[in-house]
Amino acid sequence: MRIVIGQGSCGIAAGAEKVRKALLTTDIPCEDISITGCIGMCYLEPIVDIYDDDEKLTRLVKVSENDAQKIAEFVRTGSEDAVKELFVSEEDKEFLSKQTRIALRNCGIINPEKIDAYIEAGGYQALRKALTQMTPEEVIEVIKTSGLAGRGGAGFPTWFKWNAARQAQGEEKYLICNADEGDPGAFMDRAVIESDPHNLIEGMLIGAYAIGAAHAVVYVRAEYPLAIKRLKNAIEQAKEQGIIGENIFGSGFSCDFMIKAGAGAFVCGEETALIESLEGHRGMPRLKPPFPAQSGFWRKPSNINNVETFANVAWILNNGGEAFASMGTEGSKGTKVFAVTGKIKRSGLVEIPMGKTLRDVIYGICGGVKTDKDFKAVQMGGPSGGCIPKSLIDTVIDYKALGATGAIMGSGGMVVMDESTCMVGMAKFFLDFTAKESCGKCIHCRIGTKRMLEMLDRITKGEGKEGDIELLEELCYSIKDGALCGLGQTAPNPVLTTIKYFRDEYEAHIKDKKCPAGECSDLIEYKIIPERCKGCTLCSKNCPVGAISGTVKNPHTIDTDKCIKCGKCYTVCRFGAVVKE
């Protein structure tokens, strides 16, 4: 019997390491207590899986260190009474059973710190096949047949980029992995590296062989220390077994690996800005053409794909391009990983075939909105994406359909919002991010995003005026047309989509000086309805500025001049006496 504890960043943050240490102090009769990465059920962490030989016996969720003795008793006696409340529910099992996992196939299952675990799961077979049985052109042809498109956001055909780098003139070439995952709410790439680093390495080695590169580089965020640690460990293990280095599998192909920790600039997600950063310069985009395939890292032919793209490569070579292409839609093949966050019951990582709908993900897999409020919108593609309203929840998930809404697939961030979310405030949040992350190289992005942010700030404070919406739209299109790179070209998307689908909220802020969602503090006022107030004093005790007065069992009142609109009184009132206006 084996015990496996989920130890991705989410699991460790929830207390998984404390659980592991507590289990080690018990006299639990099992062969091994080991770790794995994130299974994707982040909302249930810490997670403990108990295996009988190679068959999973049970999954325990939301485990604490205090449950260690209960788990030991269960393993010893087989009695479920001790851990019954920890069993994963049938509903939660649907979270995984409704997914199709390719990029995430090993995540939360194998030990990410042991190369043998990856090899036992079929790892490096695809690399051996490519190096010993296929030409680089044949590898590219399989990727072409699969229809694999870049999963970093643009959705550009992977085979085309590989082929362009393959055919580029020059003996020295570079293959680069973009692991600079900067979207708020996105953590797909981090989870893959933390949970299955050898899968990334294998995909990159296959890509390097295909384009003729002897150098592979992973550009990863420094904010991902666990991912960097496990990737370094995996690289060392692969080197020890001759999988990285000279004459891999006796094929004559050689490739080295390097990790570069980025400083966390969102603009470095753009491939030429990433290359500038790799070379030690400030991360700012280059003019294109020339494209990286002709002149990239150190002005040598280079290919850049993101983590999820490479995570599909080994599976495609093992199963055939046709198998991957059989999933998805005509223009969007295979599966896509999403990080689902926000006002959702089951937050975490979801991998589905293209062609499923937003409803399938939000309600079918993730259980719907976790509050008692109604679903309002979902932000797709992070700060570069857009808000898709409830009326379009049956939109098909593929590049074309999402693009038609004004949003984008992006790298896979999916932030769910309920009716308490102010869409003007949401647009302001994302624009604040992109304005700060602008590298400043081009005027449209540097100045335009700042002017838009100033306008949104005025509107949320009740200082908006007639014509602001039209001016915002004009600015949006000017920035999209004039910005040099993808950051500036997509920065207006959250503003444009919220104006398109929620124009009435903008008008309410400007004309009525009201926030319909009750979220903009400058536009709301808290009052106590005397008929409902029981005089319990809970609101006054929790008011941080003493703005509420009254005696026990008598109605209280709020001094609006003192009130800082923190909303604490509204939250703690059990009788609905405190209202927002």
> pLDDT tens, position by position, for the chain (581 residues)?
889 999 999 999 999 999 999 999 998 887 789 999 999 999 999 999 999 876 778 999 999 999 999 999 998 888 888 899 999 999 999 999 999 999 999 999 999 999 999 999 999 999 999 999 999 999 999 999 999 999 987 789 999 999 999 999 999 999 999 999 888 888 999 999 999 999 999 999 999 999 999 999 999 999 999 999 999 999 999 999 999 999 999 999 999 999 999 988 899 989 999 999 999 999 999 999 999 999 999 999 999 999 999 999 999 999 999 999 999 999 999 999 999 999 999 999 999 999 999 999 999 999 999 988 899 999 998 898 999 999 999 999 999 999 999 999 888 889 999 999 999 999 999 999 999 999 999 999 999 999 999 999 999 999 999 999 999 999 999 999 999 999 999 999 999 999 999 999 999 999 999 999 989 989 999 999 999 999 999 999 999 999 999 999 999 999 999 999 988 999 999 999 999 88
pLDDT for 424: 97
pLDDT for 154: 75
Residues in the chain: 581
Q: How much is the pTM?
A: 0.93
Output phi, psi for 355, to 5 deg. 110, -20
pLDDT for 101: 97
CATH tag for 525-580 (out of 1.20.1290.10, 3.40.640.10, 3.30.70.20, 1.10.760.10): 3.30.70.20
pLDDT for 483: 94
CATH class, range 2-97? alpha beta
CA angle, residues 342, 476, 269, in degrees to nearest 5? 55
pLDDT for 55: 75
pLDDT for 485: 92
CATH class, range 115-325? alpha beta
Q: Which residue has the tokens 């005026």?
A: 465
Output phi, psi for 183, to 5 deg. -65, 130
Specify whether domain 423-512 bears CATH 3.20.20.140: no
- For the chain, the structural domain boundaries read 2-97, 115-325, 335-418, 423-512, 525-580
pLDDT for 264: 80
CATH of domain 335-418: 3.10.20.600
Long-range contacts: 21-28, Cβ < 8 Å, 24+? Answer: 21/65, 22/65, 22/66, 22/68, 23/68, 23/71, 23/72, 25/68, 26/68, 26/69, 26/71, 26/72, 27/72, 28/3, 28/68, 28/71, 28/72, 28/75, 28/76
